[in-house]
Amino acid sequence: MTHDQGAFKVDYPWAKIGWISFAVIIVVSSLLGFVVLSRYQQNDASLDIWGAICRGLGITFDSGSTGSPQPALRTPTNVAWTQVTLDQVRAGDPERGAHVALNCIACHEGTTANPAHLIPALDGMDATSIFKQLADYRSGKRLWGVMDAIAKALSIQDSADVAAYFSTRTGQLQANLPERVPQGGRAFRQSDPAARLVFAGDPQRGIAPCSACHGPGGFRLGAPPLTGQYAAYIERQLGSFAQGIRHNDIYEQMRAIARQLTPDEMKALAEFYGKRNSTLVATE
């Protein structure tokens, strides 16, 4: 007895239907996905079948060695924020760091050696930033005459200690405290072009807001807080990034941003961060 159930007969060969449907679905979707789509999707010259299949699998020319010339690999820094690195920074002892810092404060704090304020203030600097810069000087990723020699004399533990020492000091730099919306807001409506760049960036030029990483309000591991830093120092660093003289920024993000800035904007940004300090000092 074949019992009719709507449109479906009991005695259909379900196993055969199932497996044939499976095969058809796999073959059709694979042809479309690996051959048609992968081969013709790009605007430039279409790939051969083998290249298209590789592309469909996710193997592209830059994932293997190819004949085409590749730019030389340049690593901007040897520091990566792995657990090991973070543990090294955390192991810093501020009391020991105070002794190491005796070498630093002559230039970084004294005004006689730093009349033009081209040497950055370190009091209140984030520990990871100091640790990274010392590591970069030591490995030659950042070049600045005397600092290279000083950093080479410091062990990893010394760097962590001195980083911890400066991070615990208060004074010049203001730590980036989380604020919901910092004074002045983040709006594009800012009349001051420097404030607009700091809090809103410039999407049309691909410039992220400075405050997202450098404060106020934002923080990113390894990025120094800038509020209260010397204006002359900031301006010179922006110029160095723009010209590629300084190149120890991971993923080139500072070089990419600084290249987009006009000299006037660099000056205005430097003064914005520098001035925030002076106004605050005045009110205190």
Partner 1 sequence: MYNSRRLALYHYWVAFAVFLPAVMLGVWQMLMRSPLPAPFDDSNHYYASVTLHGTAMAYVITTFFAMGFGYAVTATSLGRPVRGITAAWIGFAICLTGTLMAVAAVLSGKSSVLYTFYPPLLGSVWYYSGATLLIGGSMIWVVLMIVNMAAWKRDNPGKPVPLAMFAITATAVLWAWSASGVELEMVGIVLPRAFGLTTQIDAGLARTLFSVTLHSIVYFWLMPAYIAFYTLVPQAAGGRLYSDTMGRLTFIMFLLFATPVGLHHLFADPEIGVGFKFIQSFLTFLVALPTLLTVFSICASLEIAGRHRGGRGLLGWIPALPWNEPMILAVGLSLVMLGFGGAGGLINMSYDMNSMIHNTAWVPAHFHLIFGGAIVIMYFAIAYEMWPRITGKPLHSKRMARWQLWLWFVGMFVTTIPWHITGLMGQPRRVAIFDYSDPLLAPMAPLVVISVIGGLILLASAILLITVLVRSQVGEGMLQTPLRYALAVNPPVRVPKALNGFALWNAILLMFMVFEYGYPIGQFFVLKSSVPVYEVSQQSSTPGVR
**40 counts as binding partner 1 under rule CB under 8 A:** no
Q: Report the C-alpha gap between 5 and 7 in whole angstroms.
A: 6
**89 counts as binding partner 1 under rule CB under 8 A:** yes
**268 counts as binding partner 1 under rule CB under 8 A:** no
Task: Name the segment binding partner 1 (CB under 8 A); options: 110-118, 186-194, 238-246, 258-266.
Answer: 186-194
CB-based contacts of 204-209 (< 8 A; 24+ apart in sequence): 205/260, 206/256, 206/257, 206/260, 207/257, 207/260, 207/261, 208/253, 208/257
Q: Report the C-alpha gap between 268 and 274 in whole angstroms.
A: 10
* Burial class of residue 238, CB neighbours in 10 A (0-12, 13-18, 19+): buried
φ and ψ of 5, to 5 deg: -120, 90
**103 counts as binding partner 1 under rule CB under 8 A:** no
Total length of the chain: 284
**59 counts as binding partner 1 under rule CB under 8 A:** yes
Q: CB of 46: closest distance to partner 1 in angstroms?
A: 14
Q: CB of 71: closest distance to partner 1 in angstroms?
A: 20
Cβ proximity of 125 and 166 under 8 Å: yes
**41 counts as binding partner 1 under rule CB under 8 A:** yes
**83 counts as binding partner 1 under rule CB under 8 A:** yes
Q: CB of 67: closest distance to partner 1 in angstroms?
A: 22
Task: Name the segment binding partner 1 (CB under 8 A); options: 99-107, 139-147, 182-190, 263-271.
Answer: 182-190
- Convert residues 201-230 into a mask of x (bound to partner 1 by CB under 8 A) and - (unbound): ------------------x-x---------
From candidates 11, 44, 48, 284, binder to partner 1 by CB under 8 A? 11
**65 counts as binding partner 1 under rule CB under 8 A:** no
From candidates 114, 159, 167, 248, binder to partner 1 by CB under 8 A? 167
From candidates 110, 185, 206, 263, binder to partner 1 by CB under 8 A? 185
From candidates 70, 90, 262, 280, binder to partner 1 by CB under 8 A? 90
From candidates 101, 104, 135, 163, binder to partner 1 by CB under 8 A? 163
In terms of CB distance, is 91 or 146 closer to partner 1? Answer: 91
Q: Report the C-alpha gap between 62 and 124 in whole angstroms.
A: 43
Could you list the residues that contact partner 1 (CB under 8 A)? 1, 3-8, 10-12, 14-15, 18-19, 22, 25-26, 28-30, 32-34, 37-38, 41, 53, 55-59, 80-84, 86, 89-90, 92, 126-128, 163-164, 167-168, 178, 180-181, 185-189, 200, 219, 221
